Chains A and B, each alone.
Chain A
Amino acid sequence: MADTNAIIRTEALQKVYSNGKSAVRTHALRGVDLSIPRGGFSCIVGPSGHGKSTLLQLIGGLDRPTSGNVYIDDINIATLNRNKIAEVRASKIGFVFQFFNLLPNLTALENLQTAMMLGGVKAKEQRSKAMELLELVGLSDKASFLPNQLSGGQQQRVSIARALSNDPEILLMDEPTGNLDSESEKDVLEHIFAIHKRGKTVVIVTHNDTLAARAEHLFVIKDGVLAKNP
C-alpha cells in the first residue's frame, strides 16, 4: 500500500542498458520499490556502479525506466511525454550535480536567472529573487562572476542556489561534495542542511559517510536492488 506521506515513490523500477548493436545488456536496476518521505533528508548509498546515480536520474526524470513506475507527488512521470516531464522538473525538482554543471558562459546570477526563465518566472522578478538565493549561499558578492572565476566550493553553492530557483519541493543531489576539498565540503554541507531545515525534501546520492550518518532515511543500493529500506 502506498505511503501517503511519500513525495517520491518507485514501483518495480528497472533500468537495462543495451550497448548499441551488441547483445550485451547491463541491468542497472532490477526492480526497486522505495518511498521517500516528504520533507525528509534521505541518502542513497552503495558501491560504485551499483545503480545509485541511475536511480536518482530516473527519480528526476532525466532518464526513462525500462519498466516500472516513478511517482512524484502521485504523478507517474514514467508515463509522461518529454515536455510534461520537463514541466515537472521545472516546478518540483532541483538538481545538484557532482561537477556543478553551471552554464559556463553565464555569470552566477545569470545561471540562476536562466533556471527561473525556464520555470516561468517573469524577467523583471528574476534578478531580485536570484540575488536573494545567492545571499542565502553567501555569494551575493560573486553574482557577476563566471563559473571559471569561482572555486569548486563556490560553484557548488551557486549550483545549490540555482536548484532552489523555482522553489522546488525536492532537491536531488548526485555526489554534491564528491569533487570538493574538505574545507569546501564542510561549507557546502552546512548549506545543504540549512536548506533542508527550510522544509525541502533532500535526496542525496553519496559516498560521504559524514553525510550518510546525518540522513534521516538511508537507502542502500547494491547490485541494482534495494538492500536496505529504512
Chain B
Amino acid sequence: MNILKLVARNLLRRKGRFMFTLLGITIGMAAFVALLAIGGNMRNEVTAQTYALGGGFVIVPDDLCVYNQIGIITGEAISERLAYGEYEAIAAIDGITVIPHLTRRMMIYNPTAGENQAVPVTGQLPAETQAFYGWEMSEGRYFESQDEEAVIIGQSIKNRFKVEVGDKLPIKSGIELEVIGVLKVTDGNDDAMVHMPISVAQRVFDREDSLSYMTARVDDMRKFDDYQEQMLNAANNIKIATNEQMLGSVLMILGSVEFTLQMVAGVALVAAAFGIINTMMTAVYERRREIGIMQALGSKSRTIFATFVLESGLYGLFGGALGVCVGYVSSLVIAPMVAEHSETMLKGMELGAKVDVQLVVTTIAFSLIISVLSGLYPAWKASKLTPVEAISNG
C-alpha cells in the first residue's frame, strides 16, 4: 500500500461523482484549449495571409481607417475611391513596383450549399500581377490578354463551389464568366478569391477608372521614406500602410477577441474549480470517520492533508489531459464552422487546430495547479480534525 494507491481507491469509490467532477474540469480545460487553439491558428493564418500579399506595403485611399485596411488581408470589399490615374502616377516612379486591385464581395450561388455565398472578386492587371506574386496554375491556363472576359479561381473557391475549369461562374445577375484556370495554393487570401482582369472587373462592377487599393514594393527598402514622399507627391488622396502596420492592427483586434474568449473559458474553469472544492468538501465530510481511523493508526496531519490534495490534484491531471484531447478534437470540428459561417475575415481560412506542445503542457500544468489550489481548503479542514472528533462524529 502506498499513498497513491490509497488515493486512487478513494477516488474511484464514488464513480459517478468522480466522473461528473472530472467532466467539469475536462469541459473547462477543453474550452480553454479549443479557444486558444483556434485563436492561435487565426493569428498564424492572418500573419501568413499578410505576408502573402507579397508587397512591402499597401496604398489605400487616405480616408480609410485601420479597420477597413484589414479588409485587404481578409479579402473584404473596401471602398473604391482610388483613381486609376493614381496607380499610373505611382507606377511611373522609378524603383517602385505597384499592382492595382479592384475588389468587391459578390454573392455567388453555391450549388453544393444551395445558397448564395459572399466571395471576394478581384480585378487585377493579369501580366503584372502574375509577375508580382509569382503565381502558377494547378489547372487550366492563365489569362492570355489584359482584358479577357474570363476568371481564374483560388484553390479554396474550387473546393467550396465544386467548380471545374470550363464551368461558367455567375458573378452577377446576367453575367456569367468562364473559369479558365485554378491557381496553385498561395497560402494567402488569393486562394479564396475569384480573379479577373481589372478592365473586366471595372465593367462588371460598373466602376470605370476606380481602384480599391494597390500593393507595392520598392527595390530598396532602406530608401522607403524617400519613396513614400515621392508617392505622396505623385498621388493626392492616398495613404500608405506597411504590411507590418496592418498586421499589427489585425493582431490587436484578434488579441481582444482572444482575450474575451479566454475570459469565457476562465469562467468555465472557475466553475470547475468550485466543483472540485464541493466534491472534496463532501468527501471530507463523508470520510470523517475514516480520517479518524487513519489518525488512530498513526497518520500524521500532513499525511491526511497530502492525501486530499493528491486526490484533488488527480482530478486536475486527468481533467487537464482529457480536456486537451477534447479541446483539440472540438477545435477541429468548430474551426471549419467558424471559417464557413463567418461572413467576413475568416471566410475561406484554413483554421484546423495544430497541436502545440507548449499549449498541451501549459494546459495540463494549469489544470493541475487549479485543482491543487481547489483541494487546499478541504485538505486543511480534514487535517485539522482530531481523531476522537472524527471517530465519534463520523
Contacts and interface: CB of A to CB of B under 8 A. Distances in A.
Nearest to B5: A110
A62 B388 contact: yes
B299 A86 contact: yes
A21 to B, nearest CB: 17
A114 B301 contact: no
Interface stretch (A43-51, A98-106, A178-186): A98-106
Given A63-B387, A101-B296, A105-B9, A123 B301 contact: no
B141 interface: no
Given A105-B13, A117-B2, A118-B294, A86 B300 contact: yes
A177 interface: no
Contact of B391 (A97, A115, A166): A97
A156 interface: no
A40 interface: no
Nearest to A82: B301
Range of interface residues on A (Cβ < 8 Å): 20 to 34
Interface stretch (A4-12, A88-96, A195-203, A220-228): A88-96
Given A106-B9, A123-B1, A118 B299 contact: yes
Contacts of B300: 82-83, 86-87
A62 B292 CA distance: 9
B388 A103 contact: no
A114 B391 contact: no
B298 interface: yes
B3 interface: yes
B263 interface: no
Contact of B301 (A83, A104, A162): A83
A166 B298 contact: yes
Interface in B1-23: 1-3, 6, 9-10, 13
B13 A91 contact: no
Contacts of B386: 62-64
Interface of A: 57, 60-64, 82-83, 86-87, 89-91, 95, 97, 101-106, 110, 113-119, 123, 126, 162, 165-166
Closest 9 interchain pairs by CB?
Answer: A90-B298, A113-B1, A63-B388, A62-B387, A86-B300, A62-B388, A105-B13, A118-B298, A89-B298
Given A62-B391, A101-B289, 6 more contacts: A62-B387, A83-B302, A86-B298, A103-B290, A106-B6, A114-B294
